[in-house]
Structure 1
Amino acid sequence: MKIRLVNEGVFTPIDDLQTVLTPPLAGFYWIDADVDDLAELQPLFSLHDLAVEDCLSEEEQRPKIEIYENHYFIVVNSIRFDDEEIFLRALNVFLGRHFIITVTKQKINELRTLKPILWEQEVSGPDRFLYLLIDLVVDNYFVVGDRIEAKIEKLEEDILMHTKKSHLNEIIGLRSEILWLKKVLGPQKDVINTLNKKDLRLIDDQLQKYFSDIYENAVKISETFDTYRDLMSNLREAYQSSIANRANEIMRVFTAMTVIFMPLTIITGIYGMNFDNIPEIHWKYGYFMILGIMLVLGLGMVVIFKKKDWI
């Protein structure tokens, strides 16, 4: 657990947790904690039991905002994409009048990225901290969206160039990830809309209007992932079409080979019959003549098929 006094973007480390109970003369306290620290923090800040229970739960948490008497509890999901799977990490925030507590189970990149922004914008209020943090979380969805789009384009190119069975597993896997993510984007969008429209006493009225920009970005992200979902459906159809075309090509080649060998089989069948009076059967050069006829006939059919673009 790290405790900092933040005033005009300047961080001052605090060693004594009891100090945080008293509002500072200027600035606010930021407590960066993990779930194990909640046992100590809950009684000091009167954190609601249900909110603490949500933080400790092993189940996936839906984005939400809960309003309690002396603090708000907000859950948003940070996103990460490692080219194979999309990961969502819950970011739990307790917002008070003079403090903000961030609780995470894993490291969240947005918290690390936020520090220089706080200093650059000379932040002195916990509500401003919350705004900048959620703005970073939402912006990161655009970054991940660009990477997903690049992966879809590469997958489409690979399918058109050389279709493999493994491509179907990639399509199904990525489409499932996108559909799962869509279910999360709805509640997260609602949380941001609440921060934008609802009368919240712990958030400055002037600052609250800025959440509308974040909400618009959240709507764009949701629409973007709708597009990705449709692209994955198109990609699956392209895969199935490519497989069908390959099967047709193979069948066309096999059919052409069958047609080419049919007259050759007839010739060998005739001269393979057990009759003594077959013409040319006792001719000295009969064997070579038949081979020559078969060769000319086979090559002639190949040439004709190629001119007609059948093979």
Structure 2
Amino acid sequence: MKIRLVKNGIFTMVDDITEALIPPDDGFYWIDADIDDLLELQPLFGIHDLAVEDCMTEEEQRPKLEVYESHYFIVINSIRFDDEEIFLRALNMFLGRHYLITVTKQKINELRAIKPILWEEEVSRPDRMLYHLVDLVVDNYFVVGDRIEARIEGLEEDILMHTKKSHLTEIIGLRSEILWLKKVLGPQRDVIGALNKKELKLFDVQLQKYFGDIHENAVKIYETFETYRDLMGNLREAYQSSVANRANEIMRVFTALTTIFMPLTFITGVYGMNFDYIPGMHDRAGSIVLLCIMAFLGLGMFYFFRKKDWL
């Protein structure tokens, strides 16, 4: 657990947690904690039991906003994409009048990226830090969205050029990830909308209006992933169409080859019969003439099929 006193974006480390219980003359306390630290923080800051239970649950956290008497409990999900799987990591935040407690189970990049922003903006209020933190989380969805879009375009190009069985597995996996993520984006959009419109006494009125811009971005993200879901459906149809076309191409080649060899098989069948007299059977040049005729028939039919664009 790290305790920082933030004044005008400048951090001062605090060793004693009890110092954070008293509002400072200027600035606020940012307590960056792990799940295990909640047991120590709960009695000191009066954190509600239900909020602690939500943080400690092993299940995936649903974005939410809970308003308690002395603090707000806000959950949003940070996103990460490693080109194979989408990961969501819950960012639990407890906002008080003079403190902001962030609780995470895993490392979240936005908590590191927020530090230079606080310094640049000379932040001295916990609600402003929360605003910038939510803004960072939402902006990162656009970055992940661009990478997913590039992945979809790459898959589409690969399917059109060289269709493989592994493509179907990738399509199904990525589509499932997008559908799962879309279910989370809806509640997260609503939470950010509540931060913009709901009457919240711990937020500065002027600052609260800025959450409207974040809410617009959250709506854009939701619509973007809705589009990605449709694109994945189109991509699956393109894969199936490509496989069907490839099968048709193979069958067309096999059919053409079978057709070319049919007269040749007929000729060899005739000359393989047990008759005493067959034209050219006893002629010294008969085999050569017969092979030339067979070659002429095969090449002639091949040329005819190519001219008709059947091969």
TM-score of Structure 1 vs Structure 2, range by shorter chain: over 0.9
Q: What's the counterpart of residue 74 of structure 1?
A: 74
Residue 25 of structure 1 deviates from its aligned partner by 0.4
Q: Within 5 A, what are the aligned runs for 1:104-143?
A: 104-143=104-143
User: Between the two proteins, what is the percent identity of the paired residues?
Assistant: 77
Opposite residue 143 of structure 1, the aligned amino acid is V
TM-score (structure 1 length as normaliser):
0.99
Q: Which amino acid aligns with 1:232?
A: M
Query: In the aligned structure 1, how far is the partner of 2:278 from the partner of 2:27?
Result: 111
Alignment of 1:1-311 (within 5 A): 1-311=1-311
Query: Cα distance, 1:286 vs. partner?
Result: 1.0
> Tell me, what secondary structure is at the counterpart of 1:47?
coil
Unaligned runs of 5+ in 2: none
Q: For the residues of structure 2 that align with 1:279 and 1:79, how far apart are their CA atoms?
A: 82
Secondary structure (helix, strand or coil) at the match of 1:293 reads helix
Q: CA shift at 1:262, angstroms?
A: 0.5
Query: Following TM superposition, by how much is the alpha carbon of 1:160 offset from its aligned partner in structure 2, in angstroms?
Result: 0.7
- Once the two structures are superposed, residues 84-122 of structure 1 have per-residue CA deviations (whole angstroms, 9 ceiling, x without a partner) of 000000000000000000000000000000000000000
**Structure 1 letter corresponding to 2:172:** I
Give secondary structure in 1 for the equivalent of 2:93: strand
Counterpart amino acid of residue 290 in structure 1 = L
Where 1:244 maps in the other structure, the secondary structure is helix
CA deviation after TM superposition for structure 1 residue 130, in Å: 0.6
One-letter amino acid of the structure 2 residue matched with residue 29 of structure 1: Y
User: What is the letter of the counterpart of residue 197 of structure 1?
Assistant: K
The one-letter amino acid of 2:257's match is: M
The one-letter code matched in structure 1 to 2:12 is T
> What per-residue deviation string (whole Å, max 9, x for no partner) do you get for residues 34-83 of structure 1?
00101100000010000001111111010000000100000000000000
Runs of 4+ in 1 over 4 A off after TM superposition: none
In the alignment, residue 9 of structure 2 is paired with which amino acid?
G
Structure 1 unmatched ranges of 5 or more: none
TM-score of the two chains, using structure 2 as the length reference: 0.99
Identify the range of structure 1 (219-228 vs 276-285) with the bigger mean alpha-carbon deviation.
Answer: 276-285
Aligned residues: 311
CA apart distance, 1:138: 0.2
Distance 1:279 1:143 in 2: 79
Distance in 1 of aligned mates of 2:104 and 2:276? 95
